[in-house]
Amino acid sequence: MTTAVETVEVEVRELIRRSGLDPARDTHEVAELVRAAVSDYDERSLHGSMPLLGDVDAAVKSVLDVVAGFGPLQPYFDDPSVEEIWINAPSQVFVARHGVAELTSTVLTADGVRDLVERMLKTSGRRVDLSSPFVDAVLPDGSRLHVVIPDITREHWVVNIRKFVVRANHLDDLVRMGTLTQQASTFLQAAVASGLNVLVAGGTQAGKTTFLNCLASAIPGRERVVTCEEVFELKLPLRDVAAMQCRQPSLEGTGEVPLRRLVKEALRMRPSRIIVGEVRQAESLDLLIALNSGLPGMATLHANSAREAVTKMCTLPLLAGENVGSRFVVPTVASSIDLVVHVALEADGTRRVREIAALPGRVENEIVEIADLFSQRDGQLARGDGFPPHDDRFVRHGYDLATLLAPEPR
């Protein structure tokens, strides 16, 4: 069957070339062409000496995967349980299912990896070469691609594909999945609707982007939201959204648009709220300035706890320049960030909220005060004894903060 399928692949590639179809764009036409080519070959093989195809449907799938999909990796794209795919070497292809990594039996070639990367980058307009050995891009299905090539890596192209697996669109979905409790969900929905500024912190693959998407579902529909990201990942279920992503420099080294520039431009776009996909560097200063001016917003940040997230937010803005000092940054963080949600990937692959902390706005000895709203106790997210700032905003939007945070009956 392999020889027969390879023969059909060659015929299909020639038909696509002659017809001028783009496999990435003309998916329906290419699929029809593949079905017709397989059917034609199957009929010819019955009356000649050519190898038989066997399972026609399997042959159609195999040919489509090669000419219009991502070849040997396509089954992992089609598998809804696979969250991430990565290649350390042609013979080392890994996947993560439900947060747990496993080595697959898929074996590629060095040329095959390069061909797959070129195919993935085709629709993004981005490139990877010696002058630009890293690349971030979004695939047509919303998956995020990251590639690093030698001599940054030791020998092989290293590829990471983070699939956009939609398992939750609303905070209530996260409650059903066991990520957080109903009381915490209700409180966060009220906090977002009331315009509090929220920072979502956690490690890699902890579910920060998914959580941010779910938080955004609580934004009132009348608001205009502007998002800033390295590459498009957020899928906000809102009516009025302006999404922006960064741009790589050209071959001449010009035209780069960093995240910091996007945050500045967002303020000129009449936002009711600003969302930054992930804060990593000096753009944190621009975000703080925007939040401090009264513009509600949200962002994600790599950190191992709520306290570490606050400390990091007090440090990152210092990268913006020597004229930026902690005497300005620390009180600005205390007054600009209202809530920190820390999410984590547990050892069994589940994702849970470990703590929700509030910043009352006070600073002592250059340390930002943190109040415990919810934290993990005996494996459960339990109510703490703290309260968030801006209780007047909750009242203005029709929420009773005391009811929202009332201790749960034992």
Q: What pLDDT is recorded for position 409?
A: 62
C-alpha–C-alpha distance, residues 94 and 76, integer Å: 10
Q: How many CB atoms lie within 10 A of CB 189?
A: 20
232 and 321, same domain (yes or no): yes
Per residue in 37-48, pLDDT (tens digit) is 888 877 777 776
Start-to-end CA distance of the chain, whole Å, equals 64
C-alpha–C-alpha distance, residues 216 and 205, integer Å: 19
Give the chain's domain count.
Answer: 3
89 and 233, same domain (yes or no): no
Which pair of structure tokens corresponds to residue 257? 């648009």
Domain final residue pick, 23, 45, 69: 69
Q: Which residue has the higher pLDDT, 194 or 139?
A: 194
245 and 99, same domain (yes or no): no
Q: What separation in angstroms does the CA of 194 have from each of 33, 104, 187, 223, 310?
A: 53, 47, 10, 12, 21
In a domain, 314, yes or no: yes
Within 8 A by CB and 6+ apart from 328, the residues are none
Per-residue pLDDT at 251 exceeds 50: yes
In a domain, 94, yes or no: yes
In a domain, 195, yes or no: yes
266 and 375, same domain (yes or no): yes
DSSP assigned state of 257: B
188 and 332, same domain (yes or no): yes
Q: Which residue has the higher pLDDT, 261 or 27?
A: 261
Q: How confident is the model at residue 191 (pLDDT cuts 50, 70, 90)?
A: very high
Range of the structural domain that residue 371 is part of: 171-405
Per residue in 323-378, pLDDT (tens digit) is 889 999 999 999 999 999 999 998 888 899 999 999 999 999 889 999 999 999 88
In a domain, 51, yes or no: yes
Q: What pLDDT is recorded for position 253?
A: 75
On average, the pLDDT of the chain sits at: 90
371 and 322, same domain (yes or no): yes
Burial string for 324-361 (b: 16+ CB within 10 Å, else e) reads eeeeebbbbbbbbbbbbbbbbbeeeeebbbbbbbbbbb
Q: What separation in angstroms does the CA of 211 have from each of 174, 201, 352?
A: 8, 10, 10
Within 8 A by CB and 6+ apart from 334, the residues are 359, 361, 362, 363, 368, 369
133 and 154, same domain (yes or no): yes
Domain final residue pick, 52, 69, 86: 69
Per-residue pLDDT at 123 exceeds 70: yes
Query: What average pLDDT does the segment 199-216 reach?
Result: 93
Query: What average pLDDT does the segment 376-381 reach?
Result: 89
Query: What average pLDDT does the segment 179-203 reach?
Result: 96
Domain final residue pick, 69, 92, 124: 69
211 and 323, same domain (yes or no): yes
Residue 227 maps to which CATH number? 3.40.50.300
Q: What pLDDT is recorded for position 1?
A: 45
In a domain, 219, yes or no: yes
C-alpha–C-alpha distance, residues 107 and 2, integer Å: 16
Are the CB atoms for 225 and 272 separated by under 8 Å? yes
Are the CB atoms for 226 and 211 separated by under 8 Å? no
Q: 31-40, 112-121, 211-220, 345-354: which range is least confident on average?
A: 31-40
Q: Which residue has the higher pLDDT, 134 or 65?
A: 134
132 and 195, same domain (yes or no): no
Q: 85-89, 99-103, 337-341: which range is least confident on average?
A: 99-103
Residue 158 maps to which CATH number? 3.30.450.90
Per residue in 277-289, pLDDT (tens digit) is 999 999 999 999 9
58 and 112, same domain (yes or no): no
114 and 232, same domain (yes or no): no
In a domain, 410, yes or no: no
In a domain, 21, yes or no: yes
Q: Which residue has the higher pLDDT, 34 or 229?
A: 229
Per residue in 394-409, pLDDT (tens digit) is 999 999 999 999 987 6
53 and 199, same domain (yes or no): no
Q: Which residue has the higher pLDDT, 365 or 59?
A: 365
Q: 8-12, 125-129, 209-213, 220-224: which range is least confident on average?
A: 8-12
Per residue in 67-81, pLDDT (tens digit) is 778 989 999 999 989
Query: What average pLDDT does the segment 140-167 reach?
Result: 89
In a domain, 100, yes or no: yes
